[in-house]
Amino acid sequence: MSLFYKLLVIVFLSGCSVTTLTHKNNQIILRVEDIIIKTQSQTLLSKLDNYGNITIKKELLKLNSNRVVVYENIRLDSSYEFNFTTTTTIKHVFESSKASQVYAHKGLYLYQLLLPNYRVLNIMVEEFDSQSMGIIYGLSTQDMRILFKKLKATPKRALVENTLLLQANKEAFISRWSTQKIHFIPLITPLRLMPIL
């Protein structure tokens, strides 16, 4: 049986259980299986960071509720993948001493992170594959509750109420991607090939 045929069978058997988190046409779009959640947004600031094998597009967004959040789209070179679990990667990037995972399903993760300044940050992470990641941070706890309701889910633990809310300026970009973290921790590693069955 050829490798292509095996991959085709795996994709077919896995169905359409794809999770995606994107920002396009002034909308944040989250898809988890058959649930699609859309939120209107306006881009206030945008920047692109390139570290050679990893590109990070960051956008400061204003939601219809006037809340400000940051969306990050992280893409790795085709010959690299993330080295750690989603939780470990996020802890490194946000320099968090504690990551309380309150939801995990089909590549979508919700966390409350304890930051170095002892504030709690609500964060949503989509990592459906090992070469890309979508992140939204700055959500309020009320936003998280609404999200749980739309996902027809309940949090794994009680949510912290008083969380960090972002301001509409460049200081809102609080993730700490760096060359040192990416290449010397390292957050990414050369792609590990799966054995052929």
What string of H, E and C letters represents the secondary structure of 100-153? EEEEEECCEEEEEEECCCCCEEEEEEECCCCCEEEEEEEECHHHHHHHHHHHCC
Residue 155 buriedness (CB in 10 A; 0-12 / 13-18 / 19+): middle
Position 128 scores a pLDDT of 85
Let me know if residue 5 belongs to a domain: no
Amino acid, single-letter form, for residue 62: K
* 25 inside domain: no
Say how far apart CA 35 and CA 43 lie, in whole Å: 24
pTM, full prediction: 0.88
- Whether 161 is covered by a domain: the verdict is yes
Q: State which amino acid sits at residue 186.
A: P
144 falls within a domain: yes
User: Which pLDDT band, with edges at 50, 70 and 90, does 17 fall under?
Assistant: low
Residues 42-95: tens digit of each pLDDT: 999 999 999 999 999 999 999 998 999 999 999 999 999 999 999 999 999 999
**Structural tokens at position 118:** 């002892």
List, in sequence order, every beta strand (DSSP E) within 15-107.
19-24, 27-32, 35-50, 54-63, 68-76, 80-82, 98-105
Domain count of the chain? Answer: 1
The three-point CA angle 156-163-83 to 5° equals 60
> Is 122 a member of any domain?
yes
Residue 19 lies in a domain: no
Amino acid of residue 188: I
Cis previous bond, 186, omega within 30: yes
Domain range spanning residue 56?
41-190
Residues 181 and 63: their CA atoms lie apart, in Å, by 31
Residue 107 pLDDT: 95
143 belongs to a structural domain: yes
pLDDT of residue 57: 98
> Does any domain span residue 56?
yes
State the DSSP code for 160.
P
